[in-house]
Amino acid sequence: MEPLAVRAEIKPSRGRLTRDAIVQAAINIIDAEDISGFSTRKLGKSLGVEAMALYHHFKNREEILAAVAEEITAEIIGIEVDYQDKSWQDQIKISARNALNVMRSHKGALSLMLEHGKISAPWMIWHERQLAILLKAGLPPKEAIAAFRAISGYIFGFTGFEMRFRPIMEKKDFVNLMIEEFKQSDYNSLKSTTEYFRRDWDDQFEAGLDLLIAGIAAQIESFNKV
Amino acid sequence: MEPLAVRAEIKPSRGRLTRDAIVQAAINIIDAEDISGFSTRKLGKSLGVEAMALYHHFKNREEILAAVAEEITAEIIGIEVDYQDKSWQDQIKISARNALNVMRSHKGALSLMLEHGKISAPWMIWHERQLAILLKAGLPPKEAIAAFRAISGYIFGFTGFEMRFRPIMEKKDFVNLMIEEFKQSDYNSLKSTTEYFRRDWDDQFEAGLDLLIAGIAAQIESFNKV
DNA sequence: ACCTGAACACCGTTCAAGT
DNA sequence: ACCTGAACACCGTTCAAGT
């Protein structure tokens, strides 16, 4: 009979690794160090395991990153509360803001989704919910898809730019650098707006969304008239 | 005196490498093999040079990729023709379509810009031109920036999704797979629209842009009324 | 079934050395 | 000034072996 101590040491390391634990550890690394700081070897180490152990749960690195993208998509749709009593405009706004907030908490989320995202269950739920809102609001299928793509494109595009450029624009010397840059140029439109670029990201996000919603509302109205 | 043949062999390899040549070679690799297939060693080999020679022209891999992102941004704004006689709506549409076309010809462009893009000269020209159109159309600075961000966000977000999901959706068995997937679900909105998803990308891009333009036009009108 | 160790082919980057 | 060769610390992944 073997000493219990040894069994006790080995037992908890048996089957300890799960897909969920791996995905969570991967998200932690990517949040802290960006995608460029992610490696299967680091991931293994953070789980107290050799990197090769991961291959028992995932086919390869690509599949791990696809699972991370799916998990973040699940986070985006998961925090959506019941809002059936709200107008379609408010429903669009609430889910858009949720998406923005989740992406803000995972800086590399968008690149991850664009490079490794699959058509996953949460991704389909996102489609389903947005389409349901737009169809119920009165858009025919074809127009609903165009509106859906416009909204999703805007949300993720805006977020992508914010993630990349906001830190640069919010640096103390950004405006001075730009003014210096513009001195010998004729970038008059940029000159007159530079100061606004670094402020009010939340308001700007909402304002852009309102433009889109106004366009959609006008289209719904035109359909109702016929 | 040394034999000329040797000098002739060595001479053309002296100063052969330029930043432009490196960037072009990098674009070729990324277009053909995606970002994941890019390495400084491959890049060197494609130029007939050791990878370490690149370090004389660029500080590191990151700087090469930033230069690639800048070059593609230059392509996006470079093909914009003179359109001063068009309406602001058409000017927005033409430049949006140009951006879409360039991104279509460089599959990995968006990820590249979001991960390695800097506030470069062509990037500023893009801002300047779009803002000039919107300011001239009648928007105050703050609203012009919101509209600019909405348009740019939409263009790049839509394009990002198209690059990632269009190839998947256009596969022959996509609709069947989705129908199979939906059989035991209540994704009713998706069910009724699945077929539309794979078609008419150009029309959908235009339709989404029209929604945004309609919203902006309404806002301009409201400013004119005051 | 689940994990390790050794190995392979590949990375980015440095540094001293060559011309 | 521009490029190479050797070296270093890292990759992703495979495979046979351990429990």
**Quick one: pLDDT at residue B15?**
61
Amino acid at B212: L
**Quick one: pLDDT at residue B39?**
98
Residue count of chain A: 226
Which residues of chain A lie closer than 8 angstroms to B141, CB-CB? 192-193, 196
Tell me the C-alpha distance between B197 and B79, whole Å.
30
Per the model's pLDDT, the better-predicted residue between B216 and B198 turns out to be B216
Residue in chain A nearest B35 by alpha carbon: A115
Tell me the C-alpha distance between A72 and A101, whole Å.
11
**Quick one: pLDDT at residue A80?**
67
Residue B4 pLDDT greater than 50, yes or no: no
Q: Does A84 touch chain B (CB under 8 A)?
A: no
Mean pLDDT of chain B: 90
For residue B19, the Cα-to-chain-centroid distance in whole angstroms is 21
Buried b (16+ CB within 10 A) or exposed e, B123-152: bbbbbbbbbbbbbebbbebebbbbbbbbbb
Chain A closest-CA separation from residue B194 CA (Å): 9
pLDDT band at residue B12 under the 50/70/90 scheme: very low
Facing residue for B196 by CB, picked from A118, A142, A207: A142
Instruction: Retrieve residue B75's tokens.
Output: 């392509």
Residue ranges of B 117-146 with Cβ closer than 8 A to chain A: 117-119, 124-125, 127-128, 131-132, 135, 141-146
Half-sphere exposure of residue B151: CA atoms within 13 angstroms, side-chain side: 29
Residue in chain A nearest B186 by alpha carbon: A128
pLDDT band at residue B11 under the 50/70/90 scheme: very low
The answer to whether the Cα torsion of A75, A77, A78, A81 is positive or negative is positive
Instruction: Retrieve residue A93's tokens.
Output: 């706004």
**Quick one: pLDDT at residue A10?**
30
* Close Cβ partners of B170 (under 8 Å, ≥ 6 residues apart): B198
Supply the pTM of this predicted model.
Answer: 0.91
**Quick one: pLDDT at residue B78?**
81
Instruction: Retrieve residue A53's tokens.
Output: 């152990």
Per the model's pLDDT, the better-predicted residue between A226 and B46 turns out to be B46
Closest CA to A140 of B179, B192, B198: B192
pLDDT tens sequence across B148-183: 999 999 999 999 999 999 999 988 888 788 878 787
Which parts of chain A have pLDDT scores under 50?
A: 1-14
Which residues of chain A lie closer than 8 angstroms to B125, CB-CB? 187
pLDDT tens sequence across A172-184: 888 788 878 887 7
pLDDT tens sequence across B49-108: 999 999 999 999 999 999 999 999 999 998 766 777 999 999 999 999 999 999 999 999
**Quick one: pLDDT at residue A173?**
85
Question: Which residue of B115, B192, B194 is the best one to mutate when testing the A interface, meaning the one whose CB has the most A CBs within 10 A?
Answer: B115
Q: Which nucleotides of D are covered by protein (CB under 7 A)?
A: 1-6, 10-16, 19
The answer to whether the Cα torsion of A131, B92, B167, B26 is positive or negative is negative
A23 neighbors A43 (Cβ within 8 angstroms): no
Tell me the C-alpha distance between B27 and B34, whole Å.
9
**Quick one: pLDDT at residue B56?**
95
**What percent of chain B is predicted at pLDDT more than 70?**
92
DSSP H or E segment with residue A105 = helix A88-105
| End-to-end Cα spacing for chain B | 85
Residue count of chain B: 226
pLDDT band at residue B46 under the 50/70/90 scheme: very high
Residue in chain B nearest A124 by alpha carbon: B190
**Quick one: pLDDT at residue B198?**
82
Per the model's pLDDT, the better-predicted residue between B9 and A45 turns out to be A45
Which residues of chain B lie closer than 8 angstroms to A215, CB-CB? 210-215, 218
